[in-house]
Amino acid sequence: MKHISKQSEVLGINSNHNEFKKAVLRLTLYYTAGVFIILSLFSFLIYGLFVTRYDRTFHEGVHSENAETIGDEIKENLLHILIVSDLTLLVIAVFVSYGLSRKTLSPLEEVYQKQKRFIANAAHELRTPLAVLKAGGQLIAEKERSSDEYKKFVHESLEEVGRLIDLSNDLLFLAQNTSHSIGDVQLFYLSETCLKQCLHIAPYAEMKSNVVESDIAPDISLRGKQSDIERLILNLLKNAIDYNHAQGTVLVTLVKKSGKAVLSVQDSGIGISSKDLPYIFERFYKADTARTYNKNSGTGLGLAIVSDIVREHGATIAVESELGKGSRFEVTFPLV
Ligand code: ADP
């Protein structure tokens, strides 16, 4: 436990940007060194060419002492001009290189910070169920317990282990999908997949005193990764149940509209505030109502996974929600 909490501190999102600054300075140095080498070569070339040509002209033509002095002065002036202009260009090059280095490295810095935030959040999500497991174990081990108490502990521990398994599955899915390309693409019946998922979630809905209703147009097929689409539907359905009131309803519809398949999952639940709505697809984001840890709270990765799958399939997702009244998630798939 100590190890995990320590790690999340080390990986905190506010940690310093020293590495980034060092990389920018190093790149600035490389750019400036490159410019310096080019300028020096250029200046040597100009000066060398001038001196060679001048000396040749001088030896072939004019032979007065005055002309020799003028020649030396011209050479000296040229050398001064070259040195001053090279130094000026070098100073400008330092600033331009710094700007360019920042521009080159800032997308990498963004990815790096995102990665760090992701790991810190993952560590936090892992720590919470582990802390619950540890506290439960310590409490039960304090003294002799009745068999009912042991049973309750085992039951609760299994729930926490289930959460850890869900979390690791979600993390694995997101990690494997970072390339944003879909393998195992096939043509399958979306209508059947929707019905299958509605049936699959029905016992869970019943356990939560919810009802899942469906109105699915038959024979709509889709080209994509079936297992991902199953996951997308299941995540939307699970949320529609988890954030619903008791005796609430969930309505799933699938229709064909203007050459596209439109899947909608509507619930009569708690709704999402306009403040939270822009962020719900971000990894680990949980709206205020779901933020406090309880055995039903999710990982905050469900909609991030949905969003990845939507993007992979060239689809779009829209959400309408009203606090206290419910939400409707609509996914529009292009059909081939
Ligand atoms: P979680 O694992 O917390 O459910 P999600 O990524 O699936 O994570 O959802 C992010 C947040 O969006 C949830 O914490 C919840 O606050 C909100 N949310 C998602 N779906 C719904 C819904 N159908 N009704 C109300 N709030 C929802």
Give every CB contact of residue 263 below 8 A, 6+ residues apart in sequence: 190, 194, 233, 252, 253, 254, 330, 331, 332, 333
Kindly state the percentage of the chain with pLDDT values over 70.
88
Tell me, in angstroms, the distance from the centre of ligand 1 to residue 297's CA: 9
pLDDT of residue 190: 97
Give the chain's mean pLDDT: 88
The structure tokens listed for 143 are 């003294």
Question: Which residues have C-beta atoms less than 6 Å from ligand 1?
Answer: 239-240, 243, 267, 269-272, 280, 285-287, 289-290, 298-304, 327
Specify the pLDDT at position 304. 94
What was the pLDDT predicted at 42? 93
What would the mean pLDDT of 184-188 be, rounded to a whole number? 89
Q: How far apart are the first and last CA of the chain?
A: 50
- Chain position carrying tokens 């939307």: 236
Which atom of ligand 1 lies nearest, measured to the CA of 285?
Answer: 10
Could you tell me the distance, in angstroms and rounded to a whole number, from the CA of residue 284 to the centre of ligand 1? 10
- Sorted by sequence, the CB contacts under 8 Å of residue 311 that are 6+ apart come out as 180
Residue 247 token pair: 């005796």
**pLDDT (tens digit per residue) in 277-302:** 999 999 999 886 554 455 566 889 99
* Residue nearest (by alpha carbon) to ligand 1 atom 26: 272
Contacts of 195 (CB under 8 A, 6+ apart): 214, 216
- Residue type (1 letter), 185: V
How many Å apart are CA 166 and CA 154, to the nearest integer? 18
Task: Report phi then psi at 117, rounded to 5.
Answer: -60, -40
Where helices occur in the chain by DSSP H, the ranges are: 2-10, 18-60, 65-141, 147-176, 190-207, 226-242, 288-291, 302-312
pTM over 0.75: no
Q: Among 233, 243, 270, which is best to mutate for testing ligand 1, by the most ligand atoms less than 8 A from CB? A: 243
